[in-house]
Structure 1
Amino acid sequence: MESPPSDAIPAACPGMGSEQAGKSSTCYGCPNQSACASGTAAGPDLDKVAIAEKLGAVGQVVLVMANKGGCGKSTVAAQLAYQLAADDSQEVGYLDVDLTGPSGPHLFSVADEEVHQAQTGWQPVSARDNLAVMSIGFMLPSRDDAIAWRGVRKTGLIKQFLRDVDWGEHLDWLIVDCPPGTSDEHITVAQYLGGLPNVSVLLVTTPQEMALLDVRKQVNFCHKAHLRVLGVVENMSVFVCPCCGHREQVFAPTTGGAQAMSAQLHVPLLGAIPLDPALMRACESGTALKDSASPAYGAVRALTARLQAAVAGGASLNGYGAP
């Protein structure tokens, strides 16, 4: 029986000859878990090969994750895509794998568009000349339809998104908007993208400990899944009064906020985005934040620049993001 590749073997792997093969807690997230549990040989995964070939040709793939829902992960992901696409020389893709809460169509003001199938694969929706969007939201009969799928079906669609979307001849950036948690969707993404040198993670949090507790779990997941963490962004970090400029911490960082957590986990803090009505209005209208007087505008631009710098120097980073 062929052994799985060494980089796919979890720590303390029980071995394929063990009664605990594929069943032990250490098998969590391993791409060979099903094969080991069934006692069958883990042959080459042709889908994984195809996905690695397709997305390996992308300049950078950035997974935007937040273990806690409501942190503004999709807002950060969309505005990051807009900022990257502001450079006309860059081709940017936005892949929405939040299947039960797809926000991409609304955030890019393309909710009425449809995805078409061509010989080269699914054609993503064009939000602008150099920015394309793919989401299950384009495939629903109405915007109010709920996705009530079990894990296998969700896993299958995400695999199709990774394998079959035709992003064009060249793509510089692929921003992947992941759902909250560390469940089926994340395991699937990690299984097919973990370990690729051009794949990294941006974590989104808010300052309060309730959110930070879950971010620590997400960092641990990324480490186990061989996903490189570029850094953390603290969203809704502070409210800046648009009239007088007074700064108020709406979500008090009782344990030091993202800055203290980043230092503890050796994960870079790439930015802090304030609560800002202008950012909310941009998301509601499905446009890029363009108000240069907005406190969030400068914060998003700074985050984009730091992300680009972190990617450029990311070869020396380990799974946690520390040198």
Structure 2
Amino acid sequence: MADKVFTVLDLLELELPEHSQLHLKCIGGRTSLANVISVSEINRPGLALTGFYDSFANGCVQLFGSAEGAYLKKLYAENNIQSLTQMFQYGIPCLIFVKMLEPPKEFIKLAESSGCAVLQTELELTEFTMRLSRVFANVFAPKKTLHGVLVEVYGIGILLTGHSGVGKSECALELVERGHRLVADDIVEIRSVNGNSILGQGANTLISHHMEIRGLGIINIAQMYGVGSIREQKEIQLVIRLEEWDNSKVYDRVGNNLESVDMLGVKVPTIEIPVKPGRNLPIIIEAAAMNERLKARGYNSARDFNQNILKWIETGEVQNAYYGMDDSY
């Protein structure tokens, strides 16, 4: 379910890239554009037009293709509109006609009197269905906001977390300086897509590519480093927790402890990097990104290291090395 109410008017006013444009326009029922679209499914009301309403998905957007359009005209030609009158009694948010199909004027009047908006698109049925499904997958995806910085490093989406003042923004600024890209600073909105991946973007797209650097103030990354230094959204593939170095804490030195964090029901790998003067965090994060890419290709450095150690032990060379050590020092 979406975090806020999503209406038919919101659907009409969506700002989408050209390859995702829905090309919708309202051809009837403008007073009903405030109708709420509450579910992400799309329904083709073929059975409903014949008068069968068991399990009718009335809360969905109703999509009319060539078959539905032809049958609709047949019903009006035969003056048999009882099923249509019954359909609108279920409370439909909106109807959409594809391929610029023109419904009968009587049908538009019936929809308007029933409080249903009528929309039209120039797209073919299959193409429009795919685009609308992608839009709904985004609109109705579970969402939440997090405090952190999201960057893209070597193609890997990395979310930097940690308490305020630990150096997340400064680290991200150095990564941008080294040719990587900023997605969002400070407040990151995440959403689950298809239940198996997490996309992140700025909670406020107008200020998401601005960065606060203590002692310097607010800077605009896109203006300073060019549009190639930013991107609008990115899948989060790794979470890095930055924390102040704690001498009493034992940190992972091999990489065998594979941890993950639950983000909206999706497990995302996470590592912890201690921060202290002299550590070059940007280089460490670059190495973490490249290591994550290797893991995606099936290679695990820590596992390979352990296997090599075991082979070394099995060959007996470790005993020779141990007994051959010079104890004079």
Pair in the same fold by TM > 0.5: no
Q: Which one has more relative contact order, counting CA pairs under 8 Å at least 6 apart?
A: 1
Task: Looking at secondary structure, tell me which structure has more strand per residue.
Answer: 2
Give the TM-score of the pair, scaled to structure 1: 0.30
Give the TM-score of the pair, scaled to structure 2: 0.30
Compare CA radii of gyration and give the structure with the larger one.
Answer: 2
